[in-house]
Each structure stands twice: as C-alpha cells, then as structure tokens.
Structure 1
Amino acid sequence: MGKNKKKSKAKFITNMPNVSICTPTFNRRPFFKGLIKCIQAQDYPHDKIEWIIIDDGSDKIEDIFQDEKTKSMLTQIKVRYFYVKEKMDLGKKRNMMHEKCCFKHDEDIVVYMDDDDYYPPERVSHSVKKLTQDKNVLCGGSSELFLWFNVLNKMYKFGPYGPNHATAGTFAFKRKLLKDTCYEDDAVLAEEKHFLKNYTVPFVQFDPFKTILVVSHEQNTFDKKKLLNAQNKFVKESSIEVKQFIQDKELKLFYESEINELLKDYAPGDVKNKPKVLKEISRREEERKEQTKVMQSQQDNKPSGIYVSDNSDPNNVKHKELNMRECKEYMTAKTNECIMLKRELNRLKAENDALKPK
C-alpha cells in the first residue's frame, strides 16, 4: 500500500507540467531583490521552472542575474534574461516573452510575475492546480485582489469584477491558449481585454491570497491613490493585514520600508521616463470624463414621471412632465422656498411675540 502511494506521488511529480514564469521589466532594479526572493520561495519543483525576463530599460539589470548570490538562490531554475535596446510597448514585450519560452508543449503553463508586486510561495503551484483541475479551462487569474499602500499602511480590496476578468499580473494559462490569441503589440495599458478575447476565454478564478499582493509605490506607472478618491463600488478598505500575505520577515521588511528608501534615489524608475504610457493615461482620463458627461446628460434628459401645472393662463392650464434635471431644479427651488417661508414665519412669530403686552 505504501509503495503504491509512493509510486503514485512519483508519477504525479513526473507528470507535473513545466512552468514558464514571465516578467517584463523597465527600470525596476530596486524591486528585484524582493522578486528574486519570491521566485526562490516558490513551492513548485524548481527543476520544472524557467524564468523569462525581458528588459528594455535604460538601466540594464543583467548584472543582477550574473551575480553569484542570485545564481545560488535560483540554482535549479532556468533563468533566461533578454535585453532589448529598442524600447517596447508592453503588449509587444509580453508577446516576446511567450516566444522566448523553452517550454512549448500545449499543457505547459505560463505564469506572470510582474516586477513590482509580492507573490506568495504558492503562486505557481496554486495556478497549476487550478488550471489542471478542468481540461476545458485555458486561463486563470484573480478578479479580486488586495492593494497595499505601504506609506499609508492601509489595505484595500479591489473587485471581484467578473468571473472571466482579472488583471495581467495575476494571469496563468496553458500554453495552448497562445495558438488562438496574443496581445496587441502597441498596447501600453489594460492589455488584458484583447488577450482574453473580450473576456470570453474559458477562465478560472484563483485565490487572491495565493496569487498576489499589489504594492502601491511612488514609481507606479499609474498613481493608484487616484482609485481611492473615486466613488467606486469595487474598492473597499480592508482589515486584512500584510502579515496574512507575507510571512517571510525579510520580505515583509523589504516591501514595508526598504523599497521606499531604494526608490528615493532611483531616477531611472521615474514615471516621466514612460511618456507614451503617460499620454495614454491622460487620453483615457479625458475619455472617461467625456463618457461621464454623456451619461449625465442622458440621465438628465430622462422623463421623471412628475408633472407640474402652468397656471399663468387660468383659461388654458397646461401640464408639463419634467425631465430628471428639471425635476432636481424644481425640487431644489421648492426646498429653498420652504426654507425662506420658514424663516419669514419665524420672523413674524418673533415680531408678534414682541408686540404682546408684557
């Protein structure tokens, strides 16, 4: 019986799919101390993992992977670093990562681990488990995720947004998916929608606690604090603490405070070095403002179901249905009229009291 169990376990390990961890990077040197430790801590067999890094930054980080300490930490993992002189858009960079993978069997798995977030030790193993439980599923990710503002020491929960939705930093997928989809080469933001074919790809949701902790920092491409100022039903402050994600003391210290000190003097990582991304963010913000205006205008012009009478001509009383904007204005006017009349009533009462004999 014991021998059978051992054979079964050995067979399972042998049949475990190979995994390509993929990381696109641009001037994020300070973060790799933490990311390398996250990769090292993965509880999936290291001899079944390769790590693909595509770097198009002005601060080339090849030296990090040539360092003996890094090599000793990742001894069984096949690290494949590629430097590209030409600055690439994110979509093109992700497509290139897929091309550079050595593991190309249909059932092999690609796991994304971006350069500036924390990934738990189960990131790879959990992704593999969820993707292999259902042969029809092609991709997975977490539509619900936690975002930690280390400077504020506050945690926020985002999502869930939908069963087929997730952000790319949480993606893992079977290699066969790439036969049917890819990224738009010129995508610099929100590249997920096209890759997931408008969110129609057979998808499985991952446990956010085994997937990612998004870390907000001063060199984020998009200032995540803006997400907190908007009235967003998908964003809520959470009582979850960092220690529930990061158990390793060194990593916890790194993401809590050390990274902030490293970023202070790291000019190459300044978001101003990504003009195309900034331009796209600005364009999207203006687009949202215009959409909001249009939606507000449509809402204002909807019929309210409330009618008012025009008694200016007693012989020809007219009734008019107000639209929503007119209704608000009418109610505001009537409220102000009531306030004014109440004040006048109080004044007259006071005047009357003053005239009473004492």
Structure 2
Amino acid sequence: MSVVFNPIESYRDDFTFRNTSKAIKRFPFPFPEDQYMYSVNIEPALKGEAGSVFEHWFDIDEHYLSEVAERAKVLEKDPDRCLVMPHMECAAWDSLALLMTHLARDYPEWFELYQSGDQWVWVNHALNLRQAFTYGDSETLPCEPLEYITRQVQGDFAILDQRDNNLWMDAGMVTGPADWSIKFDAGMNFTQWHAPVPMAHKMGVFDRALKYLMNIQVDRPVRRLNWTMTVNPRLDTSSETYHEWGHERSLVTPDNVAQMVHLRVELQFLARLPRSHALMFSIRTYLIRLDELATQPEWACRLHRVLRDLPDELADYKGLSQYRAMVVDWLKSYDPAERPCCAE
C-alpha cells in the first residue's frame, strides 16, 4: 500500500500535528484488557495486516516528513542525541544496512538501494537524496552511518551491545524520548536503565524480559507496545528539555483536556543485527489526541477504565497525576457502565 505524506507539521510551538482518519484507524491502541499492569508483553514480530503498523519491520506513515524535520531541529540544538561508542562502529554500519534493506524492499516508491560489493547507492525520493558510498568507510558519507540513516527514519533507536550476561546501551539516536535521555543512559546496562520503573522489579518482569531478549536470533525479531500520556503532541519530552514541557501538565483544564492530552504509544521492536550481533531496539512513537481517540468509542471506553483503575504508583511514574482525574471524567461518557440507567 502506497504511503502518502502530510505536509510538514510541528511537534512544538504552534503544535500543528494532527492525525487523519486513516492514521486514527491504524493507531496501535495498546490495551487488550480493561486493566493495565506491567508484563512481559513481548511477541514475535510477524508480518501484520496490510496497511497496519505491524505490516513491516519499520513503519513509515503520513507523518514521515514531519518527524524527519523534527529530528533535524533537535540535532541542530543538541547533536549529542546521536552517539556511538568506538566499539559499536560495526553495529552502526549493521544498523544502516538493515534499515536501508528493509526500507527499499517495503517502500520501493520512496526508497532504493543498489549494491555492488562494498559500493552502495542509496536513494531517498521523499527527501530528494542520492548518496553513493563505500560500505564500512564513514568518510564516504556526510556523517557517521547510524546518524545518516536514522535522520531518514521515523522513531528512536538504541543499539545494545550484549556482553557480561547483560545488554548495554552503547549507541543510539534518540530525539523523541518519553522522559529519559540517551546521554544519561549511555553505558548503562538493561537493569540499570530500568531502575526507575515501579512495581515491575518486584514482579520479576525485567529479569524475565532480559533473558528473553538476549536469546533473540537473527531474522526472528520481537515487538511490544508501551504507553504513556503527554500534554500537546510533543515528541521531544527528553529529560534535558523538561524545562520546556514539564509545566504544560498544569495547563490542562476540563475545557481543553480533549485537545491537549494525547495518548502516546511506543511500538518497540527488537532485532538481532547479523554482522555485529548487537541488538537493535527501535522505538516508534505514535500520538493521538483524546478527541481523535474518541472517534473509536470502544477505545475511549477502555482507556477510561484503564486510567480510572491505574495504581497511583504507576500514574505518578508516567506523569499523569496532575490531569488524570480530568481525563477520566472526560472519557466517562464513553463507558456504558458509567451512564445512568434510563427510568421506565
């Protein structure tokens, strides 16, 4: 199915980001039940239904031009959002190869890749780019290979080195995180960067997840959905920019809650890189306003129940406490169990 790109929208300042009806219908709603608890909700990343966010390994959608432009803005102010430790150079090239190969195969109307030994040519029609380069030689690209290709892909990427019976965040491109920072987490292992998450450690969730992830095989990727909420369609809610967005939580009122509050869903995808054997962890973020989400009434009903019954500890961790009651109250009308019974 051919992808049609929207004109460039903004994820800051005037916040012109919106979803078309097509984007709403393919939104990865993350709740299979009326209650939410942390779990190892990892599944094989099998090819999904045509047109869905699960159809291809790397989803390209109507917001492609907007996200690429947003990434460029973040990197212009903070180029260290892309980092590659020296021992991860092979993994960076491995990531470039994997992304180019899949994009050219899955979206041939927008991307092309030609290979003759180590002489490669990459064509990105969406951005009007054509680049001939020598695979393995960074001097033949405009910038380091991981930065070059991830500037042209939606979503964030952490490249994990596997050693000492753990996974280590030693490379990545992260310009749109949900309240974390790759510069802070760089060099940490899986256990360390998940330390702030409440409740899950008591349940042994991350111990089981780590064992599972370290056994991922080449061409056997896995995926999971994660979620939080955010005020305004702001992609870059990094720790280092908290001063720009943290106060927005206090701006939510009963009158603007449906326009300001967004459900933020991450499609997390993990694939073993074939040459370096590092693990690629891609985080593709989708945003949807409450009033957009409510065009699917069953989603609004379920989100009402999830947020209403969410443990306070999790609500605090996800930063929802200031406006959760307003969201729950707004969604109440979509829950049949909350409607008054009709008098006979």
More helix by share: 1
Higher alpha-carbon Rg: 1
User: Larger relative contact order (C-alpha < 8 A, sep ≥ 6)?
Assistant: 2
**What's the TM-score once normalised by structure 1's chain length?**
0.28
